[in-house]
Structure 1
Amino acid sequence: MTMTQSRPAITVTGLRKSFGDQVVLDGVDLNVPRGTVFSLLGANGAGKTTTVKILSTLLGADAGEVRVAGHDLSREPDAVRAAIGVTGQFSAVDNLLTGEENLRLMADLHHLARGDGRRRAARLLEQFDLTEAAGKPAASYSGGMRRRLDLAMTLVGSPQVIFLDEPTTGLDPRSRRQMWQIVRDLVAGGVTIFLTTQYLEEADELADRIAVLDRGRVVADGTPEELKRRIPGGHVRLRFADQRRLDAALGVLGEVARDNDALALRVPGDGSLSSLKALIGRLDDRAIEVDELSVHTPDLDDVFLALTDEKVTTR
């Protein structure tokens, strides 16, 4: 790995922002590795949008140090802008132009030569499955097509870091999954994605790391699995073929929750491989056969509720 590859895509230290007497960001620290999806979660008003606006140079910070794509945000804002792309919750597509015209307009804004702009537009139309609709006005596009075109327009400038704000809001399940695959493909190509979303399933599906923002502070940061293991409620469910085996397991495992009707036991655990191996080892030492074993861990809804004291927004 080269030094450039190992350098984080985004580093944030002590980021602060207030609007009057209201403190919106209160000492936020973030570290986003290159070529990953980093998701920032938080309830409405937690500071997500403010964070994205600051990192994308749209809003000034009161204090803190930020580097994006290797550039200091306060001293090199133009270099940061050249290295990033921003796709907001509300599409920037021009409805009066066709899909191809929207892309060529972006190519002109990036000062690409006419031939390069045409080739770039054609490649992106193909990549985002928009070739057949390239000559149609964007006003006629479905929601999923508009979101794909919006992201394609962001990619005209070949950004190293893309800020995606609520990228699948309002999309049907098929369109959401298409967008997820596009995100995975972009990351596979080396792009870094900074994702804000209220769909916890989306963060769980896409994010390599997640930070949870609550009242302007980062209250947790880690992989989805690491965050889930922090929350109580994980357990292993063991089901047995008969009462005799269930009773034998009870003698080994001690005080655990039992379901006599289902011939099952519920053993508290964090879902880690080491704890699972230890449990299986204890049963195997006594030659106790288990008919079925399943691991249950808290999901991101549980994590979000436990860390933010807010009700999760479901849509």
Structure 2
Amino acid sequence: MTIHLNDLALFVRTAACGSFTKAAREANLLPGQVSAAILRLERDLAIRLFARSTRSLRLTDEGERYLPYARDVIALLHSGREELRRSDETLSGTLQIAAPSDFGRNILLPWLTSFRRQHPGLELRVQFSDHVTDVFRDPVDIALRYGSVEDASFVALPVAPDNRRVLVAAPAYLADHGAPDTLDELPQHACLLWHINGRLYDKWGFPTPQGRRTVQVKGPLASDDADVVRRWAIAGEGIAYKSWLDVRDDVQAGRLAVVLPEQPGESAPLQLICPHRRQFSPAVQQLHALLAERCAALGVPP
């Protein structure tokens, strides 16, 4: 049995995209080429990886079981290639990075500092802001961004695909005001809000067995800086709905407690955004590998 690595990579990409068309667009191929690659792989494996219909594409049970092994093979080859590049190439030039304020200041900054020390020929230019950076117009090479990226003109690499938002509050706030027992009680609490470009994000979404549920919340404090919202939460000013990556250290240190821990928060995957594939320089590739490794070590939300 001979398995072509390109076919294996297209299988992993198609499983992530849920569509031959989307996978082809990301790989700069035609949908028919992706379909042919999957058919070759199915023939080589003698199993059916996808159940196809005119309206949907989903993994079969065999495809679900095979996917983790395919990912491991691709990741291992990627790691080997990066190791060769780390040993053979000296990173140089300037890398301009944009990232969300809270994650940037409190998580990313020391990682970037360490990365720069390992590559003294590299210059970093960083900007931390919650305003969405336009990677085509703004002076950045890459941007880190929470949430799914629907724009097919971007190239998005997963950094923390399993990240979610969590409800958190300081123990002092919960001692004074009590903890909500259900989502229905959230509007009775002081909620710490985020706003940007004149829009106040006071409707919090949660996945439930019945579908996505939106809760209208309110509170006297709002900021366009997510780091400020986190600091207000630590100070006991109310309940915040934050990315797990942003509050993990505070929760583990006891500065914040997870509220309604049995209620999952909405997905907030962290992605590395690049405007063009030609900007996948060795510096970007090595930084992406580092960030994905560090974020994976932080674990998933409770």
Q: TM-score range by the shorter chain?
A: under 0.3
TM-score (norm 1): 0.24
TM-score (norm 2): 0.24
